[in-house]
Chain A
């Protein structure tokens, strides 16, 4: 499951930021996952606690929270705004699996429900981001 690779990326980034900010421990980590990633919230939360390759003492005991952000799409051809579930195009298991691997492939398989164009802006709901992070220094 490539969720584990993305979880490792999140933890490595969090550990790097903690190092740069001289944090002794990270106490809160909020991760936002775009709907286009087609990732299960529960699975990703589990991956974030199970990945060992990115283990860092600053992250010990951390229980990251994951929020799924709905995709917001806007057609560049006709201006229509639409949600992922409203998109036209091919949405079979293989197409959704491809989008799961590389979310930008939404442009290969989804289309504007009004005019059918694949040229739409992904205004929200893609990618994995660290939305919030807090920690304590040794002095705290």
Chain B
């Protein structure tokens, strides 16, 4: 026999995590990492115990957005996420630093499983997962390994993005994943695109987040981030996410 035991380990490490919200979308550059990071920050801000797992293994960015340090984690028994601004953060950046991680599919799956199997989240109300773009190995692995994950789908009103996100929603519905709803990000003008897309799949359109030019300057500083209109708009959506 040959049995990889890490899936059993991953389940044990997530046993005290009440909810897992996977922030997903079909395309890069639409603000999934910003939504995931600020969602974690704002949920922690209203008293929830929150973790943030950056699963974009080849291009992690939540450490840049929230400004958490990427030193090797402590490892008393497994590895400890880095506590930052009230959020327990874990990223491959803790191990790779600024080095590139050129990973093919099988290595993405193995690295993802390793991180899930060794990270001590402890008791959390919600673990926010920043998903990589697309329908590749990491997305499929999360669907398989964390079946209870609730998917928060990010889109913009761009037709190119909507086409990709439509494919993502098709997959999620086909595998009967739990979809929290669709959020339109970087909205510059009122648009019905996201609600039409959500309606096509029978899921909720949760609202829109404005394009906020000040967000880039605030990146890396949780306090300044919370003062942006992007963060306040996301904060207003927390009840719709049952947070």
> For window 88-114 of chain B, which residues contact chain A by CB distance below 8 Å?
92, 94-97, 99-104, 107-108, 110-111, 114
Q: Which residue of B lies closest to A76 (CB)?
A: B104
Q: Is the CB of A2 within 8 A of B118?
A: yes
Question: Please, which residues of chain A bring their CB within 8 A of the CB of B1?
Answer: 130-133
Q: Which residue of B lies closest to A54 (CB)?
A: B12
Interface string of A107-122 (1 = CB under 8 A from B): 1110000000011001
Interface string of A1-30 (1 = CB under 8 A from B): 110111011101110110000000000000
- If A8-B9, A130-B5, A132-B1 touch, does A108 touch B101 (CB 8 Å cutoff)? yes
* Complex Cα–Cα for A109 and B92 (A): 14
* Complex Cα–Cα for A69 and B163 (A): 46
State the Cβ distance, B61 to closest chain A Cβ, in Å. Answer: 17
Q: Is the CB of B118 within 8 A of A108?
A: no
Question: Please, which residues of chain B bring their CB within 8 A of the CB of A128?
Answer: 4-6
Q: Is the CB of B102 within 8 A of A127?
A: no
Which residues of A come within 8 Å of B, CB atoms? 1-2, 4-6, 8-10, 12-14, 16-17, 53-54, 97-98, 101-105, 107-109, 118-119, 122, 126-133
**Subset of 26 A-B contacts with CB under 8 Å:** A2-B75, A2-B77, A2-B78, A5-B77, A5-B117, A6-B9, A8-B12, A9-B5, A9-B6, A9-B8, A10-B9, A13-B5, A13-B8, A14-B5, A53-B12, A101-B79, A101-B114, A105-B111, A108-B100, A118-B102, A122-B107, A127-B4, A128-B5, A130-B5, A131-B1, A131-B2
Which residues of B come within 8 Å of A, CB atoms? 1-13, 72-73, 75-79, 92, 94-97, 99-104, 107-108, 110-111, 114-115, 117-118, 120
